[in-house]
Amino acid sequence: MAIALETLDHDVDSVRGRRLHIARTRESLSRNVSFDIAARIGYLVSRVLIPPFVLSRIGLSAYSLWSAVFLLLSYMGMTTFGFSWVYVKYVAEYVVRDETRKANELLSTGLMTIAPICVAMFVLLWLGLPRVILWLRIPAELQHSARQVILLVATAFLCDITMSVYGQALTGVQKIAEVQIIWVISYLTETALILALVGTGHGVLGLAEAYAVRTAVSIVLAAIAAYHYVPWLRLSIRSFSRQALRPLVNFGGVVQLNMILNVGLNTIERVIAAPLIGLTAVGILDLSDKLPTMANTIPGAFASSLMPAASNVHSELAGKPHQDELLAKLYLKGARYMNLVAATLAGLFATASGPLLIVWLGKVYPGTAFLMAIFAIQQHIHLMTGPGTSILKGIGRPQEEFFYSVPNVLLVIAAMPLSRLVLGHWSAVGLGSAVVIATIASAIGFIARANHLLHVSWPKYWQYVVAPGLIPYAFGMIFAFPAWKYAQYVTRGHLALIMLVIGSLYSFTVLVVFDRAVLDRDEHLFFRDAVRRECSRLPYVGRRAEAL
């Protein structure tokens, strides 16, 4: 009898513990994701405004140079990006176990390791700058500006990587909302400076100066916030630890290799386009991918919040029977909501690419409408791998991402020469299509593996995640038809009004269908509670919400 009562008490405690963890995880995720999405929407708006403004003042060649500079920086940054994931994962686990000394050792060791690497990369860039300019095929009239822009942006970028320890420490303790506020202040500052500097004739150098100021603001604010919200934070040379190097090298090394592959896959068409087709092709590919990529940073908020949440669950519930159950729920919920948001955005971008480009840029550059449509679909399917990669990283299995990146690399290597063979020449459309095909095929394979590892069946994943994401594409084709029909007969202003009406009707229809036919009762309650909780943080809105 005593044993039975003890077993019953244990079961009750287990149920209570599981419910507590679920409630805590959901509340943390809802707050972090809501702030993150709001910040990303603001970023999307600012990035939508910048390209047409810049293009009208500096032209496609100078804009292509700016795109090529960040193409170069992405390859410089991939040598240290793995450290960021290490910071987030292990800080989250150390804080749960109250091992703040180890967290300080990890952060200090990472800072002391990254700093000399970044200095070495800057020296190599400075010495190899003539070769870089030759590889990018930069026109003679832009080469002087190119040297200044590359060195200034590289300096700011490498400083940001080195000092990212502050922002990642905040993310590790799940202060993601605060990180997003800093990001908003930074990109709004950059946007204002771009309008001022480029508008007064500073050209592409004005873009670089605005980026440098944005980076400085971000570093300073992150440092201030980190010392305020993370009272145990103590960065010091004395805290350098060989033991702390192990996760940086082991876990970080695996993540880093994945990052190298992912950066290569995300930019390979532009890397090849520069020497084979010319600098302008880099700008064409960048403009085609700009809106889909920026829009999909919004659903990306779910993935960035899932990793620290999974790390907390893995640390607190290691070895307990309901760990797998909670991780599977976290995965399914994250994948479902991420897919619904991504599909809503991609559904319109894929079906109304031409009219949107005319409204956005004033013209459609050759091939950009087709490229934007397929890039929107690619970004959507690529994002569906995010919940799996984030949660698997959070539980200490970053190597699983190789099952996505390695097949992707092999398929790209095979598809790119085929595009040349099919079209008869190298082109931006051919290179972009090859990358899209490779990404979609490898993403489907990885999702199948993630479902297996996290104990989610394909029928359940299809019904709960995939099928609802097809709805926006159907409505997108219906609503985009009149936009394509009248785009060539109306002015840019009139087309903008048409797209505003179409976009509003499309968004309203998709949201109503999701609300009435997709979301269940528990999800309705969850979202209403999340909205009420966030509104309660605002004094006036909070009083109105309570009154209701």
pLDDT tens for each residue of the chain, 548 residues long:
333 334 334 444 444 554 544 455 555 555 556 666 677 777 777 777 888 888 888 888 888 888 888 777 776 666 555 667 677 777 877 877 888 888 888 888 888 888 898 898 899 889 988 888 888 778 888 888 889 999 999 999 999 988 888 888 888 777 777 888 898 899 999 999 999 998 888 888 999 999 999 999 999 999 999 998 888 888 888 888 888 777 777 766 666 666 666 666 666 777 777 777 777 888 888 888 888 887 777 777 666 667 667 777 666 666 666 677 788 888 888 888 889 989 999 999 999 999 999 988 888 888 899 999 999 999 899 989 988 888 888 777 878 888 888 888 889 888 888 888 888 888 888 888 998 999 999 999 999 999 998 888 888 999 989 999 999 999 999 999 988 888 888 888 889 899 999 999 999 999 999 988 888 777 777 666 655 665 565 554 444 444 44
Domain assignment of residue 169, yes or no: yes
Contact 371, 435 (CB under 8 A): no
Contact 310, 395 (CB under 8 A): yes
Contact 214, 186 (CB under 8 A): yes
Tokens of 284: 């064409």
State the Cα–Cα distance between residues 23 and 533, nearest whole angstrom: 14
Contact 442, 408 (CB under 8 A): yes
How many other C-beta atoms are found inside a 10 Å radius of the C-beta of residue 319?
Answer: 5
Give the pLDDT confidence score for residue 307 in this predicted structure.
67
Give the pLDDT confidence score for residue 135 in this predicted structure.
80
Q: What is the pLDDT of residues 184-206, one digit of tens each?
A: 899 999 999 999 998 888 888 99
Of all helices (H) and strands (E), which one includes residue 207?
Answer: helix 203-229
State the Cα–Cα distance between residues 350 and 476, nearest whole angstrom: 8
Give the pLDDT confidence score for residue 82 in this predicted structure.
61
Give the pLDDT confidence score for residue 537 in this predicted structure.
55
State the Cα–Cα distance between residues 72 and 76, nearest whole angstrom: 7
Q: How many alpha carbons lie under 13 Å from residue 403 in its C-beta half-sphere?
A: 18
State the Cα–Cα distance between residues 46 and 42, nearest whole angstrom: 6
Domain assignment of residue 9, yes or no: no
Residue of 271, 152, 143 whose CA lies nearest to 207: 152
Q: Is 491 helix (H, G, I), strand (E, B) or coil?
A: coil
Distances (CA, A) of 292 to 25, 194, 350, 429: 30, 22, 9, 16
Give the pLDDT confidence score for residue 326 in this predicted structure.
81
Q: Is 278 helix (H, G, I), strand (E, B) or coil?
A: coil
Domain assignment of residue 331, yes or no: yes
- The structural domain count of the chain equals 1
Sign of CA dihedral 216, 260, 80, 376: positive
Give the pLDDT confidence score for residue 4 in this predicted structure.
38
State the Cα–Cα distance between residues 229 and 217, nearest whole angstrom: 18
Give the pLDDT confidence score for residue 543 in this predicted structure.
47
Give the pLDDT confidence score for residue 546 in this predicted structure.
44
Give the pLDDT confidence score for residue 240 in this predicted structure.
84
Domain assignment of residue 13, yes or no: no
Say what the pTM is.
0.69
Distances (CA, A) of 168 to 81, 239, 356: 11, 18, 36
Domain assignment of residue 171, yes or no: yes
Domain assignment of residue 548, yes or no: no
DSSP per-residue codes, 320-369: -TTHHHHHHHHHHHHHHHHHHHHHHHHHHHHHSHHHHHHHHHSS--TTHH
Domain assignment of residue 336, yes or no: yes
**How many degrees, rounded to 5, is the angle at CA 363 between CA 428 and CA 370?**
40
Residue of 151, 127, 161, 134 whose CA lies nearest to 208: 151
Give the pLDDT confidence score for residue 548 in this predicted structure.
41
State the Cα–Cα distance between residues 174 and 178, nearest whole angstrom: 9
Q: Is 425 helix (H, G, I), strand (E, B) or coil?
A: coil
Q: What is the pLDDT of residues 376-427, one digit of tens each?
A: 999 899 989 988 888 888 777 878 888 888 888 889 888 888 888 888 888 8
Domain assignment of residue 228, yes or no: yes
State the Cα–Cα distance between residues 253 and 33, nearest whole angstrom: 28
Contact 193, 210 (CB under 8 A): yes
Distances (CA, A) of 484 to 153, 351, 352, 357, 477: 39, 9, 7, 11, 10
Contact 341, 267 (CB under 8 A): no
Range of the domain at 512: 21-234+241-543
Residue of 392, 402, 380 whose CA lies nearest to 328: 392
Distances (CA, A) of 252 to 1, 102, 114, 255, 308: 51, 16, 12, 5, 15
Give the pLDDT confidence score for residue 194 in this predicted structure.
92
